[in-house]
Structures are given as structure tokens and as C-alpha cells.
Structure 1
Amino acid sequence: MATAQTQTAARLMMAPAVVLLLGWMLIPLSLTLWFSFQRYNLLMPGQEFFTGFDNYRYFLSHPNFWSALANTLILVGGVLTITIIGGTLLALLLDQPIFGQGIVRLLVIAPFFVMPTVSALVWKNMLMHPVNGLFSWIARVFVVQPIDWFAQAPMFSIIVIVAWQWLPFATLIILTALQSLDEEQKEAAGMDGAGPFPLFFYIILPHLARAITVVILIQTIFLLSIFAEILVTTNGGPGVATTNLTFLIYMQSLLQFDVGLASAGGIVAVILANIVAIFLLRIVGKNLEA
């Protein structure tokens, strides 16, 4: 009886926060869904009317839709590859007893706390600038033609910037999992004659599988909506070389003022993100059950 009363009291205390959270999510989503069925352009006030699924048809048949979808997948895949491999290597390095270990870990994690806009500006103007950037200076020192990164390799440049921001997150999660590995397992493997590579592939990597899966899940959800780095550096160009779904929706809403079409694009992006999230959650569930 006391347990039931305690559960009821806990639910009542949690109810206001849950209602507020649902309202915070459902109200904007409902308005977006409503506008997605309307012809609503800010340049034509008073001419709104119901269009059904026309906005969805126009958005899916947009000449830049498939290239934006491909760019989104390339961006997510590239960043995940760099952060997972780099995060694992950094975690292995930081797990070793080195001088100033605490300061080194703080410096490695620091980029995660830099605002995306600020980090993008730093990379654009101080590192990747074709004339005054650090990379151009290094190229001139070795008598090599400097690269105009955002013109010659725009998507690669965006991937590097975003990966630099998310690498500390992957490192922190993987390092935490690595430190939970029983040292006796590694000692036993060493006594059996296992070298560094067999030790990594047969002992350490299987232990890190869950942490890596969680990193992939969380990063993918956020990487699907990358926007600030693209706006600050390439503005979606050259052409549509770095235009992802989020930036395409921005172009429809704030550059062409077509709220209806942009809302339809937002709903499409939400559906795609949920499909990816459900797929990844199933993978996480399998790893957690293993």
C-alpha cells in the first residue's frame, strides 16, 4: 500500500514537468505540421490556403533535395568515421600514465565547449584561409601551393571542423568505458602471449562496443541537423556542394520566405531522423543485451 502511494506521489510531482516538456515539443511540432499543409509565404500575406500534400511533393521534387540528402549522409558518415577512430586512439593514449595527465585530458575535451559558430570562424579565418591561414603558411614553408579549402574541398573542410568539435565527446565516452576494463583480463592475455594488436582487437575493442554504439547514436542525432558551421564557412556552396537538409530548409524559410514549403521539409527531416534513430536504437539494444 505504501509503495503504491509513493509511486502515485512521485507521478504527481513529475506531472508538471512532463506536461511542460510535452507542450514544449508538441506545440511547435503541431504548428509545423499545420503550416506544412498550407500555402504560406511571408511575401504574400493574406493569401494563405490549404494545399494538402503539395508542399511535400514540391519539396521532395526540389532539384537540390537529393543532393542535400546525399550531403547530409556524407557529412554524418565522415564525422562519425573520424570521431570513432580518433576518439578510440585518443582514449587509448589518455589511458596511459603520462605526465600532466589531468591537464592533457582537459585540453583534449576543451573543443567540445567551444560554440560551433566560433570554432567555424576560427577554422575559416585562422587555419584554412587560403592566404593568411596557418595551413597556407605551412604550405609556403615547404614550397607547396596553398589549398583554398572551402573552394577546392568544401565538404571535407566542413567534416574536419565538425569532427574537431565532436572528437572530445567520443574520446570522453570511450575513455570512460576503457577505464572500466578489468586489468586482470589484459594481464592474462599478455601472459598468454597476446601482443598489442591481438589485445586490442580481441579484448579492448569488444569491451568498447557498447560505448562506441552510444557515441554513434548520440552523434548521429545531432549531426543530422548541422547548420552553423555551413552557414559561417561555405553558405551551402560552392553551388550546393555543402547544402544539407537543414540548410535547404533554411534557404526555403528565411531566404525565400516560404514557410509552408520549409515546414514540409522540416517534417520530412524529422521523419528521416526518427527512422535513423529507431534503427540505431535497435543496434544499441542488441549491444546492451549482449
Structure 2
Amino acid sequence: MLPSVLFLLVWMIVPLVMTLYYSFQNYNLMMPMDRSFAGIMNYSLMFTDPTFWDSLINTLVLVFSCLILTLVLGLAFALLYNRVFPLRGVARTLAVAPFFVMPVVAGLIWKNMLMHPVYGLFSWMLRSVGLEPIDWFGNYPMISVIIMITWIWTPFALLVLLTGLQSLPEDQLEAVRLDGANRWQEFRHIVLPHLGQVIYVVLMLESIFFLTSFAEIYTTTSGGPGTATTNLPYYIYLNAFFQYDIGFSSASAIAAVILANIFAIFLIRFVAGNLKAGARS
């Protein structure tokens, strides 16, 4: 396994070290020959930039909202599709289909076919009942992005949680039913503890992808209106490819890496604490 481990280390560490190096450099692609050591100037500029704090708040709002919605909806659909009913296989296939749609394609679908204020499906539905259409990405940009990302990632939570449910021994459920437990008690004391590790996996994987959400925002709102949907990845993109400021964007990238690690540590401790509490109960 040593070659694989070394390859992964080089694959991860080299870009991170280069990013860290450039974050201490005064390096703009418009003046590539005018390079110098900047010290912590890029970081100080970043922390005094109001747009950075807006993007940080937007990132946290986006991540927490999508995590809660995808987990709740994924668990609800997993409980539903774990039951036996006609055409269950077809229903499962249709339920997981959004996860296989590329983020750029999903953004274009939601922007031009569903949420467009003139010829979108939602506008047609509102006009059909005598209501005024809504400019979703103009008036409710963050909510629209959250809905779109939740639509993409709920099938992932559904797949993982459904797999966990199918590994639940049926004799445990039959035993608690014979003891007189109702549906809520069965769910609370048998199903949820069994899905503890599975929920942890869903939260960890989804949080990583939500922290790096970019294509959905790029194809729908371009971070706007203003900075309403500018998250950290899009903030880094703007500084790197519009301002051509490699030093400043590298400092922002390091901040994003630190945020991701803080978020991961917080999430691990939170989930681990709940799992231990569930095991003691």
C-alpha cells in the first residue's frame, strides 16, 4: 500500500503547500514579474474585506440548511421506500435519478426550466391558480440555491440510509412490536440507533461537498444579487479569475481549508457524542 499512500500524500500535500506559499506572496497575474513577499498582508486584507465575511456566513447557512434538509428528507424517503409496495423498484430508480444529474446541468434546469419568472414550470403553476409568478433567483436567491442543492443531494442520503435500513434485523422490530411499542418508539429506540453510523457517514460526506459548492451557484446566481449567494469557493474564484490576485485568493483558500477542518472536528464530536448517548440509553 506504500505507493498508493505516497501518491495520495503528494496529490494532497503539494497543492496545499503551494497554496500556502502563494498566500504569503504579493502575486497578481496582471503583473506576473512584480512578485514579492507579502507576509500576512493577504490575510489582513481578507479579514477586513466585508465580502469575505458575507461569503463565510453564506457558506455556513448553505451547509447547515442543506445538511438538515437532505438528512430529514433522505430519512423520510428511506423509510418510505423500505416498505413493500407495487413498482417499488421503479419508484426507487426515479427517486435517486437527481443525484446523477451534473451540477451544471441541474443549475441550468432549475434556472431556465423550473424557476424562471416568465416561462418556468413554477411560474406556470402559479399563473394557473391566479397568482403572480416569483422571480426565485432574484428575490429569494439563497433559498433557491438551497432548494436546488437539496434536490441534488437528497437521493444520496436516501441511498445510504436505505442501505442501512435494509441491514436492520427484522427480529428486533418484531420483538419490540410484541412488547407493545408504537411506531415512534420503534423508530426512536431501534431504527435511529441502528442508523447512527450511517447518519454520521452521510453528514461527513455531504458537508465536504456542500462546503465546496460552486457549479450550482456559478450557473444560476453568479454569487448575486450582490453577495447574497457568494460562498467561499465562489469568493476564491472571483479573486483568482476576475481580480487575478493569486496571493489573496490563496489566502482565502487556506481560510476555506481551516473552516472545513473546524467544521469536520465539530461534526465528528457532535455525532460521536450523540452516538455514545444513544448507546447508553
Which 5+ residue runs of structure 1 have no aligned equivalent? Answer: 1-13
Q: Does 1:103 align with 2:90?
A: yes
Q: Of the candidates 155, 160, 171, which is equivalent to residue 184 of structure 1?
A: 171
- Considering only aligned residues, what root-mean-square deviation do their CA atoms show, in Å? 1.5
8 A Cα contact 1:117 1:232, kept in partner: yes
Distance apart, 1:63 and its partner CA: 1.4
Q: Distance in 2 between matches of 1:222 and 1:260?
A: 25
Which 5+ residue runs of structure 2 have no aligned equivalent? Answer: none
Label 1:171 to 1:51 Cα distance change in 2 as closer, same or farther (>3 A): same
Equivalence for 1:70: 57
Q: Of the candidates 225, 245, 259, which is equivalent to residue 246 of structure 2?
A: 259
Equivalence for 1:15: 2
Equivalence for 1:85: 72
Q: Distance in 1 between matches of 2:2 and 2:275?
A: 30
Q: Of the candidates 211, 223, 228, which is equivalent to residue 236 of structure 1?
A: 223
Equivalence for 1:119: 106
Question: Which amino acid in the other structure matches residue 178 of structure 1?
Answer: L
Q: Does 1:224 align with 2:211?
A: yes
8 A Cα contact 1:213 1:283, kept in partner: no
Question: Which amino acid in the other structure matches residue 279 of structure 1?
Answer: F
Distance apart, 1:288 and its partner CA: 6.6
Question: Which amino acid in the other structure matches residue 147 of structure 2?
Answer: V
Of the structure 1 ranges 100-109 and 242-251, higher mean CA displacement relative to structure 2 is found in 100-109
Equivalence for 1:4: none
8 A Cα contact 2:196 2:275, kept in partner: no
8 A Cα contact 2:27 2:34, kept in partner: yes
Instruction: State percent identity of aligned pairs.
Output: 52
Q: Of the candidates 138, 146, 167, which is equivalent to residue 159 of structure 1?
A: 146
Q: Does 1:273 align with 2:260?
A: yes
Equivalence for 1:147: 134
Q: Distance in 2 between matches of 1:245 and 1:106?
A: 34
Distance apart, 1:205 and its partner CA: 2.0
Q: How many residues align?
A: 277
Of the structure 1 ranges 185-194 and 53-62, higher mean CA displacement relative to structure 2 is found in 185-194
Q: Distance in 2 between matches of 1:197 and 1:276?
A: 31
| CA deviation profile, 1:214-261 (whole Å, cap 9, x unmatched) | 211111111111011111100000110001111111111101100000
| TM, length-normalised to structure 2 | 0.94
| TM, length-normalised to structure 1 | 0.91
Of the structure 1 ranges 237-246 and 191-200, higher mean CA displacement relative to structure 2 is found in 191-200
SS of structure 2 residue aligned to 1:81: helix
Q: Distance in 1 between matches of 2:5 and 2:275?
A: 27
| CA deviation profile, 1:247-286 (whole Å, cap 9, x unmatched) | 1111111011000000000011101111111222334555
Distance apart, 1:198 and its partner CA: 2.4
Q: Which has the larger radius of gyration?
A: 1
8 A Cα contact 1:87 1:174, kept in partner: yes
8 A Cα contact 1:150 1:234, kept in partner: yes
| CA deviation profile, 1:23-57 (whole Å, cap 9, x unmatched) | 11111111111110000011122111001011011
SS of structure 2 residue aligned to 1:146: coil
